[in-house]
Amino acid sequence: MNGQGFRILGIAGSLRAHSYNRGLLRAAAELAPDDARIETFDLAPIPPYNADVEAQGDPEPVRELKSKIHAADALLIATPEYNYSIPGVLKNAIDWASRPPEGAVLRHKPVAMMGASTGNFGTARAQLALRQAFQFTKSFAMLEPEVYVFRARERFDAEGNLTDEDTRDRVRALLEALIIWTNKLKNG
């Protein structure tokens, strides 16, 4: 594995302080190989997508999001599941970052995904919806390993820190696979 100076941008699809998915990203930052760095981007300041606003120029938080995606070697998304899909805040951020389609920062960007939910299917349906969005953006969403953290209450503490060792191992394996996947895409 060559993770020399590997930059990962982590994005959680939840705004709440003790979010399990924000906790998953914190765990990923702890578990990343020494030569990889995970920076997280908070979606709270991203306004609702509006083509009229976009036509006047991207708002500052959107510019920042796009520039961080551009600078990252790969993205790591931690998504909750809302009504069998991804939360609006995450979809909204993808919508902004997918524009304009020619030369969009999401195009050909390697992406890994994971997700925690309180339900029994651990965001399986949300991750399918996420893959569908990344098909349109032509992002390189990694196929596996799949990380579905089901019954999240049993795996995190009250502050949303990931305490379950098996899940921590899965997050570690996802990061290792993401570095290999990205290097393969870059170097063939």
136 binds ligand FMN (CB under 6 A): no
CB of 141 to ligand FMN, least distance (A): 20
Cβ contacts of 132 within 8 Å, gap of 6 or more: none
- Rounded Cα–Cα distance for residues 19 and 16 (Å): 5
- Rounded Cα–Cα distance for residues 164 and 15 (Å): 22
Taking the least distance from each CB to ligand FMN, the nearer of 92 and 118 is: 118
Taking the least distance from each CB to ligand FMN, the nearer of 61 and 119 is: 119
Find the part of the chain contacting ligand FMN (CB under 6 A) among 14-22, 46-54, 138-146, 171-179. Answer: 14-22
Taking the least distance from each CB to ligand FMN, the nearer of 84 and 136 is: 84
21 binds ligand FMN (CB under 6 A): yes
* Among the listed residues 54, 118, 131, 161, the single contact to ligand FMN using CB under 6 A: 118
Q: Tell me whether the omega of the peptide bond preceding residue 45 falls within 30 degrees of 0, making it cis.
A: no
First-to-last C-alpha distance (Å) of the chain:
14
Say how many residues touch ligand FMN, by CB under 6 A.
15
- Rounded Cα–Cα distance for residues 60 and 56 (Å): 12
Interacting positions 75-94 with ligand FMN (CB under 6 A)? 80-84
CB of 91 to ligand FMN, least distance (A): 13
167 binds ligand FMN (CB under 6 A): no
DSSP 7-31: EEEEEES---TT-HHHHHHHHHHHH
CB of 68 to ligand FMN, least distance (A): 20
119 binds ligand FMN (CB under 6 A): yes
- Rounded Cα–Cα distance for residues 146 and 27 (Å): 16
CB of 106 to ligand FMN, least distance (A): 22
- Rounded Cα–Cα distance for residues 92 and 89 (Å): 5
By the 8 A CB rule, do 155 and 118 touch? Answer: no
Give the footprint of ligand FMN on this chain (CB under 6 A). 14, 16, 19-21, 80-84, 117-119, 121, 152
